[in-house]
Amino acid sequence: MSEVFTHPPGLTAYLLLAAMLFSIGLYGALTRKNALAILISVELMANAVNINLVAFSRFTGDLIGQSFAMFAIALTVAEVVIGIAIVILMYRSHKSIQADAPSALRG
Amino acid sequence: MMAWIAFATIAFVILSAGLQVVRSVDLVHTVFWLALTLIGTAALFVHLDAEFLAAVQILLYTGGVVTLMLFGVMLTRRIDGVHILHESAGQPRAIACAVALFAAIAHAIYADPQTSHAVLTDLPETEALGQMIFSKMVLPFELLSLLLLGAMVGAIVLARKVDP
């Protein structure tokens, strides 16, 4: 085991860290009832994906991974902007941002 | 050895802050734990020799997204008490889902022999990243700016009060 730690952490360590963060985000997205908190959990998952992309870039010596991560960050910002606008709209029409508040389309 | 200590510290910060994001009951605390997670990720980017991305991460995420989230929290609650509480539901099933997903990803990671054989490779300087974005990926870059413009206009149209 001590032999493992003489080398710097390998790609597996980073991928496992990202997988853990992604699973935590999924747990949050499934359990939260507040629409804003669900959006925050989705942010966690997007963040985990960025860790993966940067780690791949570091271990292949190719900058494609980093530029993908940059595009992903910008896309996530756009997603957050629209998400918060929808949450504010939802608050205006339902006076609540619980995810189960809009039920007008329920049969 | 030093690399392991740095990695373990950053991983501990990221994971514990991430757990607090999904566990804390105060919505404002949730946003601040998210900020800590994002800062930890920026530190990990520095650790992975992606200094430019770390700067982008701090500027856009912790500067932009967290501020937006706080505005969202404040705009969607009448501030009558200090604490803005929110609840969770269905934890056992969600834990099962999250653990199953993690097991599936971990299995995929260990099943691929390329993962364990990957070695650290020196990256070109940040200048090369700029060269790449403005030569090879200039079309996606322009499309992205269009998308951001669309998202901005869309957000304004959605959130503005409609005149009667």
What's the pLDDT score for residue A4?
62
Q: Which of A42, A49, A64, A52 is nearest to A15 (CA)?
A: A52
What percentage of chain B carries pLDDT values higher than 90? 43
What's the complex ipTM? 0.89
CA-based nearest distance B105→chain A, Å = 7
Note the pLDDT tens digit of each residue in B5-58: 999 999 999 999 999 998 888 888 899 999 999 999 999 999 998 889 999 999
Q: Name the residue among A6, A11, A43 with its Cβ closest to that of B34.
A: A43
Residue B71, chain A, CB below 8 Å: the answer is: yes
Residues B47 and B43: their CA atoms lie apart, in Å, by 6
In which residue are the tokens 């300087």 written? Answer: B125
CB contacts, 8 Å: B88 with chain A: 31-33
- Smallest CA–CA distance, residue A34 to chain B, in Å, is 6
Instruction: Dig out the tokens for B148 from the structure.
Output: 């951001």
Residue by residue, DSSP assigns A43-105 as HHHHHHHHHHHHHHHHHHT-THHHHHHHHHHHHHHHHHHHHHHHHHHHHHHHS--BTTS--TT
Write down the pLDDT at residue B100: 94
* Contact indicator for A20, A29 with CB cutoff of 8 Å: no
Contact A84, B76 (CB under 8 A): no
Summarize pLDDT for B55-102 with one digit per residue, the tens. Answer: 999 998 888 889 988 888 888 776 555 556 667 777 888 899 999 999
Cα B91-B97-B101 angle, rounded to 5 deg: 145
Under 8 Å between Cβ of A45 and A25: yes
Half-sphere exposure of B98 (CA within 13 A, CB side): 23
CB contact under 8 A, A50 and B41: yes
